[in-house]
Structure 1
């Protein structure tokens, strides 16, 4: 006969309080244990019956490990370091995924044998639903570091254990997994939890640095001596000053949730700009900068970034900041993709298919094919290189379809961590998926109900998930994780990839049945170098997207554009023009001096395809030149022409390198470097 709630609570108190007293644990800890025991009783778990300890089959365990390979790669070396601190203490270190399934463990041989008797081994699920109150499962539910000692474990079989676990969060605050140290309860030590929490933060910091390796990373703390330690806060910032990632220490110090922090910008948060930070911290000897945070709190801040990637942002961004204009963004090759499941960048403008027709025959053919299948319930597969405009075409298809007033939901399958993609696509019920929001969530497929679901980079979807997606597409029903109820869904499917799906099928990396289910109409977007409408695209970008209708290209820049291979395609063209428009300001036309440094560097490495482009005269001087300052002969190389333009700009600035760099739109370091190269070559 079930015990009444008051009796259950009293019994939990009797079990937990002696231990809490002997270990000097706070009352809050006792309350968490009580609540966990009540949850276990509510779902009918038995304290004395031997639970099902059957682990995942070898194939399923391999799949679970494959889906969490990145987590394992970041965690494994940290686990070894942690184990070195506890070796010989009858303990083990355990790594679980976001569902509570153990995917890796290291420990003392004697204790590993004891742990195997209660199935504390890879492939076994240790969620609360499966094993009752335990540090791993309870940490997943409460989303906080958790200690469960001896009798506090709900099941009697686990009373010989003491477990300290901490959740591992991604830069957006989603749970990736749990790190746990479990040992014999007689070997309990109060410092174990501190070691586990520090190790979990170390994994989180590695994950954040990996996600945003090309971003501007801000390291800060209220005490300057804590910068460079595990106590420091870390923020990832885009070139336009948006906050896109943070570690747990950053959230704690700023007193903000992850969602609230992503609503902030660098200016609103710390009162500074990207350009100012890049300029200050490009020197390895720069000291931390004092800033004011929310509410006037004082912090010391240090910025780290890859200088070759960010070098051209310095002067351009600072100049833009002084004028109150948008900060220059990086070229797509340098920008780090955001790992968020929902892009923080503004969505492309909603334009129809007609807007994409700029006179190229290949594009006209693609648009004609797409128009013929509009509203025919035929899935569209868009192929093409990165940057060719696959999402723009998908949005145009949605815009011209009968579903235009319904949602358009875009999911980048390559940017979502494998541990989260299934939950993000299909959603999960309240209390069923213990790795994320407690109240469950509606998946992206259901969010797109009635509208269009765009699966970008479908070739990067994990193989096990492809079967689930195929079933949804065939049955037109979605079953959220943790639910037994299938929900009808009506979506138009558009997919895109830059990969060779047929080759992936041959390599058994992509399901053939899913390929044919998605391949209702396959269209390939031409690379920009293959298109004949470059001039029309430039005009459209300047007139519309960049809002610089007064600008035009000089003859030299037009020739350079015509001869360039455009490896980044339309996205690269857009970023180059946006940067050039900012640098040109009120001037017209856009000249070579207005182009970003990385683009000019690439021009030297990729010579123009035509002799005409290679023989373009040097750019006109920034200010009126003397009669003796004639342009160089047309036979000069592009590099020599560039050096000559720099020399003349320096001369016209009276030898002032800073002034010359402002006029040319390049950094001072670039000027020094190029002039040194020319002196070395001439000698």
Structure 2
């Protein structure tokens, strides 16, 4: 170990650990976070590098001049990380742990720790100037996270070196505004203080640093803050995209990349209107005319997002500011709750009845439970209006004056759902806010709790929820006293819960607790009230804008041809975009519709032209029948067996011919991409 310390000092500068880092990178095969072989692969790399588990820690950190030079080289990272580290340390104080910042090779640049833990950390050389790359320390959270490029937890005996097994470490890489890893943020502490929520807190802090770096990099650019939910604008979870004054795409943060569903290199080849469904000039006008106001934009996926454009210098988080992500600082100003683009329309059972017989029957059944706290389970595909129905149920009940609290179980990582739903006491886990936090269940006391995508709730939380529903009490994390609650529960999912019960991924006892009444919302293409829905949605547009309140006959005819895979959500997005394009006109014309939507309609019309008479007979024809009709139109004969086997064979052949390109296969077959993905997920069968 002494030899390695001398070698490190001798080779620095210019790059003290480049050779070992490169070797580690060459030997790495980055796995996905959470796979059981992450630690095993890291140990294999440690052995390959010639390390021995019994080696003692290297007590030869960089000398002060060399460390100072290394910090200078990472000045931007260092400057933007310090206030976040101080905030993070304030959150974990008195937990026998410390916060560490490293460069992209795993050399510690700065540390903040509890005085009672610093001595223990020094015994394993957990201090500035020391390399914690895998090549020097073997398997550890810092080195392994940098190799894998993923947030990592290494707990106790999972460390390669025996000396480091007194630690539990949670680390997240930090990327610059162009996606390049430039460092890592880590919380290391005594193994007895381990809690699974620590990694989530570290990830959030790393993302905060990335957002600060992003704002600083593009201080002179036009920045667009966006998210599908208005309340997330101005929080840590918002998407950030930067554009040059001429509309050229510059970069986007992690949240934006996730929402776009495309890599950075692909986004850099697309114009602004292709990314947000609106001309760049309109956004510039909005920023100039009403700075700080939000607008509605449409992503390439058809998802509508609330957005705020800005062209002002950023303000960074100070050391005293909290990591409370529900009220995180706005990059351009003080903390505030963002004002939505428009007030949410009041949903009642009456307003949801727009003439479709299936929907009317559902509303009549639900209305019979008015005033009775029978749980309701709403089924239906994504975008069919499940939350609208839940809000209407709440509004038309005696609980209407109490809170309506919604939680999307698919929008939070597993490690945060428990704290978000059940709440926690002060000090319940590393990173818990002072004074604790009431959960969604307590917030909904007296009112209605809406659990969207209940099928995505982890099994452990299903057990706790079951106990709440049985006992009508909730015990927050870290608490000993049960809190009584009085609430009505409405759940929703697009999943097949019965199939999940058979697979062991959803609890049967919980299923029978939440399905007092089960209703299934129809897909938009199966409804007969399209014209009424269009009229209703246009009528809800803000009065202050000169937007049309009707569509032309040609547009309505084109709407009738569409498959509407995104259902009501897609319809709302198309109408909003078209309304903006037709601003000042009396009605929406074909030219106002988004190009990609018009192409989908053309594809749907072409598909219908080759369908068999049987397939054309009903408006509710499903994708499987369409695939069969398409093959007949191409002169192919179905193989023997059932329709689904025929479709599976056709999809497999098409995917093979198109080198696995799902989008191209879906277009050629006239199917929704979800159908092709469902085929792939289920191992080659569509059912």
Q: TM-score, normalized by length of structure 2? A: 0.53
Answering whether residue 350 of structure 2 is matched by residue 354 of structure 1, we say: yes
- Secondary structure, aligned partner of 1:409: strand
Separation in structure 1 between the aligned mates of residue 50 and residue 113 of structure 2, nearest angstrom: 21
Displacement of 1:580 after TM fit?
A: 0.4
1:340-489 to 2 correspondences below 5 Å: 346=340, 348-489=344-485
Distance 1:204 1:411, change over 3 A: closer
- Secondary structure, aligned partner of 1:358: coil
Distance 1:184 1:520, change over 3 A: closer
1:58-77 to 2 correspondences below 5 Å: 72=34
Range with greater deviation from structure 2 (553-562 or 197-206):
197-206
Range with greater deviation from structure 2 (470-479 or 309-318):
309-318
Separation in structure 2 between the aligned mates of residue 201 and residue 278 of structure 1, nearest angstrom: 37
Distance 1:495 1:480, change over 3 A: same
1:27-106 to 2 correspondences below 5 Å: 72=34
Query: Which residue in 2 is equivalent to 1:589?
Result: 587
Displacement of 1:185 after TM fit?
A: 7.8
- Are the aligned partners of 1:352 and 1:400 in contact in 2 as well (CA < 8 Å)? yes
- Secondary structure, aligned partner of 1:535: helix
Distance 1:566 1:147, change over 3 A: same
- Secondary structure, aligned partner of 1:307: coil
- Are the aligned partners of 2:547 and 2:582 in contact in 1 as well (CA < 8 Å)? no
Answering whether residue 120 of structure 2 is matched by residue 135 of structure 1, we say: no
Separation in structure 2 between the aligned mates of residue 218 and residue 378 of structure 1, nearest angstrom: 47
Answering whether residue 285 of structure 2 is matched by residue 322 of structure 1, we say: yes
- Are the aligned partners of 1:388 and 1:525 in contact in 2 as well (CA < 8 Å)? yes
- Are the aligned partners of 2:142 and 2:186 in contact in 1 as well (CA < 8 Å)? no
Aligned with residue 238 of structure 1, among 226, 249, 252: 226
Distance 1:138 1:278, change over 3 A: closer
Larger radius of gyration: 1
Aligned with residue 183 of structure 2, among 182, 190, 198: 198
Distance 1:409 1:185, change over 3 A: same
Displacement of 1:452 after TM fit?
A: 0.5
Separation in structure 2 between the aligned mates of residue 307 and residue 201 of structure 1, nearest angstrom: 36
Displacement of 1:351 after TM fit?
A: 2.3
Answering whether residue 94 of structure 2 is matched by residue 109 of structure 1, we say: no
Residues 577-617 of structure 1, C-alpha deviations (whole Å, 9 max, x = no match): 000000001113311110112212322333367679xxxxx
- Are the aligned partners of 1:388 and 1:569 in contact in 2 as well (CA < 8 Å)? yes
- Are the aligned partners of 2:298 and 2:305 in contact in 1 as well (CA < 8 Å)? no
Answering whether residue 568 of structure 2 is matched by residue 570 of structure 1, we say: yes
Separation in structure 1 between the aligned mates of residue 217 and residue 398 of structure 2, nearest angstrom: 58
Displacement of 1:349 after TM fit?
A: 2.7
Answering whether residue 214 of structure 2 is matched by residue 220 of structure 1, we say: yes
Separation in structure 1 between the aligned mates of residue 47 and residue 297 of structure 2, nearest angstrom: 45
Separation in structure 1 between the aligned mates of residue 222 and residue 597 of structure 2, nearest angstrom: 30
Distance 1:491 1:465, change over 3 A: same
Q: Which runs of 5+ in 2 are unaligned?
A: 1-30, 58-93, 102-109, 128-139, 144-150, 165-170, 175-181, 188-198, 253-264, 307-324, 328-336, 611-687
- Are the aligned partners of 2:349 and 2:393 in contact in 1 as well (CA < 8 Å)? yes
Distance 1:512 1:488, change over 3 A: same
Separation in structure 1 between the aligned mates of residue 422 and residue 454 of structure 2, nearest angstrom: 16
Distance 1:508 1:408, change over 3 A: same
Distance 1:416 1:360, change over 3 A: same
Answering whether residue 529 of structure 2 is matched by residue 538 of structure 1, we say: no
Residues 332-370 of structure 1, C-alpha deviations (whole Å, 9 max, x = no match): 8354999x8899895843321100000110010000010
- Secondary structure, aligned partner of 1:455: strand
Answering whether residue 281 of structure 2 is matched by residue 281 of structure 1, we say: no
Give the superposed CA RMSD: 5.6
Separation in structure 2 between the aligned mates of residue 587 and residue 336 of structure 1, nearest angstrom: 22
Displacement of 1:178 after TM fit?
A: 6.1
Displacement of 1:162 after TM fit?
A: 4.3
Separation in structure 2 between the aligned mates of residue 208 and residue 419 of structure 1, nearest angstrom: 12
Aligned with residue 599 of structure 1, among 597, 600, 603: 597
- Are the aligned partners of 2:473 and 2:482 in contact in 1 as well (CA < 8 Å)? yes
Distance 1:281 1:403, change over 3 A: same
Displacement of 1:328 after TM fit?
A: 4.7
Answering whether residue 460 of structure 2 is matched by residue 497 of structure 1, we say: no
Separation in structure 1 between the aligned mates of residue 229 and residue 508 of structure 2, nearest angstrom: 43
Displacement of 1:317 after TM fit?
A: 4.1
- Are the aligned partners of 1:239 and 1:328 in contact in 2 as well (CA < 8 Å)? no
Q: Which runs of 5+ in 1 are unaligned?
A: 1-68, 90-107, 114-131, 169-175, 187-192, 228-232, 246-257, 267-273, 289-301, 613-683
Query: Which residue in 1 is equivalent to 2:628?
Result: none
- Are the aligned partners of 2:563 and 2:601 in contact in 1 as well (CA < 8 Å)? no
Residues 232-253 of structure 1, C-alpha deviations (whole Å, 9 max, x = no match): x9998327998958xxxxxxxx
Separation in structure 1 between the aligned mates of residue 492 and residue 225 of structure 2, nearest angstrom: 28
Query: Which residue in 1 is equivalent to 2:9?
Result: none
Distance 1:83 1:242, change over 3 A: farther
Displacement of 1:499 after TM fit?
A: 0.5
Distance 1:305 1:553, change over 3 A: same
- Secondary structure, aligned partner of 1:329: strand
Q: TM-score, normalized by length of structure 1? A: 0.53
- Are the aligned partners of 2:302 and 2:570 in contact in 1 as well (CA < 8 Å)? no
Displacement of 1:109 after TM fit?
A: 2.5
